[in-house]
Amino acid sequence: MSSSQVLLVGYSGHSIAALIEGPESGLPVLLAHGGGQTKRAWKRVSAMLAEHGFLSFALDLRGHGDSDWAIDGAYDIVDFAGDLVAIAGGFERRPVLIGASLGGLAGLMAEGEVAPGTFASLTLVDIAPQMEAGGVTRVVGFMEAHAREGFASPEEAAKVISEYLPHRPSRKASSGLAYYLRQKPDGRYYWHWDPAFIDGVMRRHAERSDSSDFGRTELDEAASRLALPVHLIRGGSSDLVSPEAVAHFLELVPHAEYSDIADATHMVVGDQNDAFGDAIVEFLMRTHGKGDAA
């Protein structure tokens, strides 16, 4: 089943690009990627969902991929959450949301703070109110390192990615990498997202690093308000979400289900795509039935 790209309308008319795959009659599933990624991160998951009757919308979050950049630098979590709420409001049926990292935080704030009742269920992929400072620093540091100066070639970018993900087989620049880079008139290659996004992330990271609660309070409150079916998925080797953070989340959301994906880091979707997809489909089928069921 092939996919097609459309433009959806986010908060304040912000244009959000998405790849659609699956039967038109299927239950809509919004797929929200992590910071610095694009809708292409969900390619295999989208195909698996389509096979089970779900209609997936793999989004480019604002400032990423083919979506509009925020000219006013509006890249706070509530801005991403506002986009998800606006998009969800355009469906006749409440959609499911599956969010990884940044996309998960946006989904948590959308459902727990901005507009409760927006989604039919919420799956958080390796993200929780409590985050390990070291893991956050590593992710933010990788994104910030080449945000401004870019790369001399796709091969240089591929090398940087391999160093960041040493547990994966080293690969040369591939056609898939082109979706994450854009070449500018100076001949250099830059990440396919707005540098202003990481500027905001760096600023908030510095503020939270100076705070004893590391920004947990607002996320805790949002999590405690979740009344819909919730599924937390953790990478078994994640350096961002610890077992203690999982326990804390399950105290806040006692009805939540939990899956641990062995041999996966924070990049769960890419590390163990099949195991992740199986966990996603099993939860959705049990919670909502077959995707295209009336």
Averaged pLDDT score across all residues of the chain? 89
Q: H-type helices in 146-272, by residue range?
A: 154-164, 195-209, 216-224, 243-252, 268-271
**Ramachandran angles phi, psi of 18, nearest 5°:** -150, 150
Structure tokens at 167: 């547990």
pLDDT tens for 92-139 read: 999 999 999 999 999 999 999 999 999 999 999 999 999 998 888 888
| 32: nearest Cα among 22, 24, 42, 23 | 42
Higher pLDDT, 145 or 169: 145
Contact 51, 24 (CB under 8 A): no
Quick: pLDDT tens for 62-98: 999 999 999 999 999 999 999 999 999 999 999 999 9
Cα–Cα distance between 224 and 186 in angstroms, integer?
Answer: 49
pLDDT tens across 15-27, in order?
A: 999 999 999 999 9
pLDDT in tens, 214-228: 445 899 999 999 999
- Is the pLDDT confidence value at 187 over 60? yes
CB atoms within 10 A of CB 21: 26
CB atoms within 10 A of CB 207: 11
Distance CA 248, CA 251 (A): 5
Token pair belonging to 22: 């699956």
Strand ranges in 60-188 using DSSP code E only, listed in sequence order: 96-100, 122-125, 181-183
Contact 34, 41 (CB under 8 A): yes
Handedness of CA 138, 140, 141, 143 (dihedral sign): positive
In the block, residue with structure tokens 């993900």:
165
Q: What Cα–Cα distance (Å) separates residue 2 from each residue in 48, 270, 278?
A: 12, 21, 21
Rg of the chain taking only CA atoms, in angstroms: 18
Structure confidence by residue, pLDDT tens digits, 145-165: 888 899 999 999 888 888 877
Residue 213: pLDDT band with limits 50, 70, 90: very low
Integer Cα distance of 111 and 269 in angstroms: 22
Cα atoms found within 13 Å of the Cα of residue 77, Cβ hemisphere only: 23
Closest by Cα among 257, 284, 293, 294 to 48? 284
